[in-house]
Structure 1
Amino acid sequence: MIRPLILLISLAMVVGACKNENNKTADADTAKTGKAASDQLTRNILFFGNSLTAGYGLDPSEAFPSLIQQKIDSADLPYKVVNAGVSGETSAGGKGRIDWILKQPVDVFILELGANDGLRGVPVNETRANLQTIIDRVRKKYPQVKIVLAGMQIPPNMGESYANQFRNMYVELAEKNNVVLVPFLLEGVGGVRELNLPDGIHPTAEGHKIVANNVWAVLEDVLRQ
Structure 2
Amino acid sequence: MAALLALLALLWLAAASPALAAERTVLVMGDSLSAAYGLAPEQGWVALLAERLRAEEPGWRVANASISGETTAGGASRIAGELKRHQPDVVVIELGANDGLRGLDLDQTRANLERMVTAAKTAGAQVLLLGMRIPPNYGPDYTRGFERNYTALAEEHGVALLPFLLEPIATDREAFQADNLHPVADAQPKLRDHVWPALVPLLD
Query: TM-score by structure 2 length?
Result: 0.89
Amino-acid identity (%):
37
Preserved contact between residue 47 and residue 82 of structure 1 (Cα < 8 Å): yes
Pairwise mapping of residues 35-46 of structure 1 onto structure 2 (< 5 A)? 38=19, 40-46=21-27
Of residues 45, 57, 77, the one that matches 2:58 is 77
Q: Which moved more, 1:64-73 or 1:114-123?
A: 64-73
Alignment partner of 1:48: what SS? strand
Deviations 1:50-89 (A, max 9, x none): 1111111111111111111222122133211111100000
- Specify the alignment match of 2:92 in structure 1: 110
- Specify the alignment match of 1:16 in structure 2: none
Amino acid across the alignment from 1:67:
L
Report the CA distance shift for 1:33/1:53 in structure 2 as closer, same or farther (over 3 A): farther
Amino acid across the alignment from 2:191:
V
Alignment partner of 1:54: what SS? coil
- Specify the alignment match of 1:203 in structure 2: 183
Tell me the CA shift for residue 32 of structure 1.
7.8
Of residues 33, 40, 47, the one that matches 1:66 is 47
Alignment partner of 2:148: what SS? helix
Tell me the CA shift for residue 176 of structure 1.
0.5
Is residue 146 of structure 1 aligned with residue 146 of structure 2?
Answer: no
Q: After TM superposition, where is structure 1 displaced by more than 4 Å over at least 4 residues in a row?
A: 25-40
Report the CA distance shift for 1:107/1:207 in structure 2 as closer, same or farther (over 3 A): same
Is residue 98 of structure 1 aligned with residue 79 of structure 2?
Answer: yes
Preserved contact between residue 21 and residue 59 of structure 2 (Cα < 8 Å): no
Amino acid across the alignment from 2:155:
E
- Specify the alignment match of 1:7 in structure 2: none
Pairwise mapping of residues 165-204 of structure 1 onto structure 2 (< 5 A)? 165-204=145-184
Tell me the CA shift for residue 26 of structure 1.
5.4
- Specify the alignment match of 2:32 in structure 1: 51
Report the CA distance shift for 1:110/1:116 in structure 2 as closer, same or farther (over 3 A): same
CA distance in 2, matches of 1:176, 1:34: 42
| Alpha-carbon RMSD | 2.2
Of residues 192, 196, 203, the one that matches 1:212 is 192
CA distance in 2, matches of 1:217, 1:139: 21
Aligned length: 201
Is residue 161 of structure 1 aligned with residue 141 of structure 2?
Answer: yes
Amino acid across the alignment from 2:95:
L
CA distance in 2, matches of 1:62, 1:31: 36
Is residue 129 of structure 1 aligned with residue 107 of structure 2?
Answer: no
CA distance in 2, matches of 1:55, 1:124: 26
- Specify the alignment match of 1:13 in structure 2: none
Tell me the CA shift for residue 27 of structure 1.
4.5
Report the CA distance shift for 1:32/1:212 in structure 2 as closer, same or farther (over 3 A): same
CA distance in 2, matches of 1:39, 1:137: 29
Preserved contact between residue 90 and residue 114 of structure 1 (Cα < 8 Å): yes
Of structures 1 and 2, the one scoring higher in RCO (CA 8 A, sep 6+) is 2
